[in-house]
Amino acid sequence: MQQSRRMSQHGRIPPTGPIQTSTRTAGKLPIASTRRRKQYIITGMTTYDHLTSALLDSIPHDIVNAMSAQMRDVLAVQATRAEFCRRAAEEAGRAAPEPANVPESDRDQTAKSPQTPVRFVESRAEYRAERSYWNEGGPTMVRTVDDTITAAGVEVPVRFHFPSTEAVLPGIVFLHGGGFTVGDLDTHDRIMRVIAESSGAAVIGVDYSLSPEVKFPQALYESAGVIDHLVRRGQDFGIDGSRLAIAGDSAGSMLTIGATLLLRDDPASVGAHPETFSALRALMAFYGGHGLSDSASRRIFGGSWDGMGTDDLGSIMSDYFSSADDTGSPFYHHLSADLTGLPPVFVAAAGLDPLRDDARALAMRLRRAGNDLAYEEYPHVLHSFLHFGRILDDTTDVLTKAAAFAAERLTLCVLSRREP
């Protein structure tokens, strides 16, 4: 099957001139996608073709025409499952207690840990239901362990995926996306397992506290604190704390860069060891926002079809920050930070994503700062495409490349990818 052309290969930053797109015809269904179609059309629901037509009619035609056929197939699956996800949200909302109904015995604890507003209970349940389909299948781990690590004053749930029986493995800390308000260890589980299998490293997922219950920089501090703990006490978990990488998608990409800068510039703020930064061997930042408040991609892309419209992005900001002044922090606004001397960085962007230009700008800044950089841009996919490996070949491609990037810098031999 013909492979999508990338707008940039390892280390090459995209030009400032007109964007060159793939020669693949978006309207043609690739052989792999045709073969998989029967696997994901859901019996008893509205037909694939009808749902595809209704959904794509709601998206600007220029964006639809730029999508790969597989990306359109992903949207069709999302449409078939929309009612199921909506019901999951409604059920969670009905089960959530109103503030006045919190039992007297629980009120002290509620005061310490603010109760989640019902709309976030619903959105998190809907997100979990939506992602559940995409987490089915994938690699089987030799061992998976759920645990907690104390960081930033709280017990942070973590998940260890071990792809081999080695007593001690290098670790890749994974920080999930979800706009800082949704997402958990389950919503990104397949992504973590694929990275573990492809890299040979253990992958450690971090279930940091979500907004709006907590505000910036709590999630950042928890992420950095978990990394520091693994550097110092990794052997307790079977992790070589001297060989760590960090990876994250979307909001997790922002935490990946932010936590690295924090551990370099202000480790004392999270009680981290000054030498923790030196244990970081690689970073992987997938389609994150890194400080732009306006850009061409933000004006052109994003809407109800991907949850990345202007209002969506604005809500994320208001939920995550207590004050507008916080948006100037170099641990959030990475494009204004000192980016010299960072570990090697793999940056990936989605071509039809409002955050595309953030990723491009970050890559340019990293290159100018003299860092070891690999940049990949996938022209025909939307934000969040890391989730869609059951259908999307670009997902497998980017995760395999990122895992190889990390494995090389963690001094591992990349494992041969097992056939499903």
353 labelled catalytic:
yes
Q: 250, 297, 329, 384: which one is catalytic?
A: 250
Q: How far apart are CA 94 and CA 82, in angstroms?
A: 19
Identify the DSSP state of 146.
E
Q: What share of the chain is helix, strand, coil (3-state, %, to 5)?
A: 45, 15, 40
Q: Are the C-beta atoms of residues 64 and 74 closer than 8 Å to each other?
A: no
Q: Are the C-beta atoms of residues 378 and 398 closer than 8 Å to each other?
A: yes
188 labelled catalytic:
no
At 154, which helix (H) or strand (E)? Answer: strand 154-162
Residue 152: both structure tokens together = 């930033």
Q: Are the C-beta atoms of residues 68 and 3 closer than 8 Å to each other?
A: no
At 218, which helix (H) or strand (E)? Answer: helix 218-233
Q: Are the C-beta atoms of residues 399 and 386 closer than 8 Å to each other?
A: yes
Q: Are the C-beta atoms of residues 12 and 375 closer than 8 Å to each other?
A: yes
Q: How far apart are CA 277 and CA 255, in angstroms?
A: 15
Coil, helix or strand for 170?
Answer: strand
Q: 333, 380, 383, 387: which one is catalytic?
A: 383
In angstroms, the Cα distances linking 16 to 130, 364, 376 are 36, 11, 16
Q: 189, 353, 357, 393: which one is catalytic?
A: 353
- Catalytic machinery residues: 250, 353, 383
